[in-house]
Amino acid sequence: MRAPKYLYVFAAGWLIAVAYLFSARGFVYALCVAALAIVLVAYLFSLNYLMNYLRRFHTATWAHLGRPSFPTIAEHTANPWRFVQSGFLTLGFIFSTGYKSLEDERLNQLIWLIRILLVCGVVGTIVLGRLNDSSHWP
């Protein structure tokens, strides 16, 4: 299953924003934003792949997590709390050891990739915030 179209639009929007920052803020800041954008987009696509992978190969686990997916507007409007709940359950699954009981090496690698991307995104956001602070930016 392909990623939702709005993920591609999101990635294109980040590309435009980074191109603007190269001209407006300077090279180092724009480079940091570009790196953070790449991490964020990779995280979202990896999360989408995880949800589809669980749906296809570990259906019981996917159902237990609340059938996580990126919702369409109609799905979200019908029951927005389902997606919040399944998001938290999926995040708990990613940071727990429950995935090990499935004994799936590809799933193990995907979980570790998502963990690394999430940590890099948080650290990158903190660093970017410090760079954006006027006392740390020339």
The answer to whether residue 65 is domain-embedded is yes
Tokens 């696509």 identify what position?
45
The answer to whether residue 138 is domain-embedded is no
For the chain, 138 residues long, give each residue's pLDDT as a single digit of tens.
566 777 778 778 877 877 777 667 777 777 788 888 889 989 989 999 999 999 999 999 999 998 888 777 677 678 878 888 888 999 999 999 989 999 999 999 999 999 999 999 999 888 888 777 654 445
The answer to whether residue 17 is domain-embedded is yes
The answer to whether residue 34 is domain-embedded is yes
Question: How far is C-alpha 54 from the chain's CA centre?
Answer: 16
- For the chain, the domain total comes to 1
The answer to whether residue 64 is domain-embedded is yes
Write the DSSP assignment of 62-111 as a string of letters: HHHTT---PPPHHHHHH-HHHHHHHHHHHHHHHHSSGGGGG--HHHHHHH
Phi, psi at residue 72, to the nearest 5°?
-80, 170
The answer to whether residue 15 is domain-embedded is yes
Its domain, for residue 12, covers: 5-132
The answer to whether residue 106 is domain-embedded is yes
The answer to whether residue 21 is domain-embedded is yes
Nearest Cα neighbor of 86 from 98, 76, 100 is 76
* Separation between Cα atoms, residue 47 and residue 44, nearest integer Å: 5
* Separation between Cα atoms, residue 98 and residue 65, nearest integer Å: 11
**Interaxial angle between packed helices 105-132 and 27-57, expressed in degrees from 0 to 180 and rounded to the nearest 10:** 150
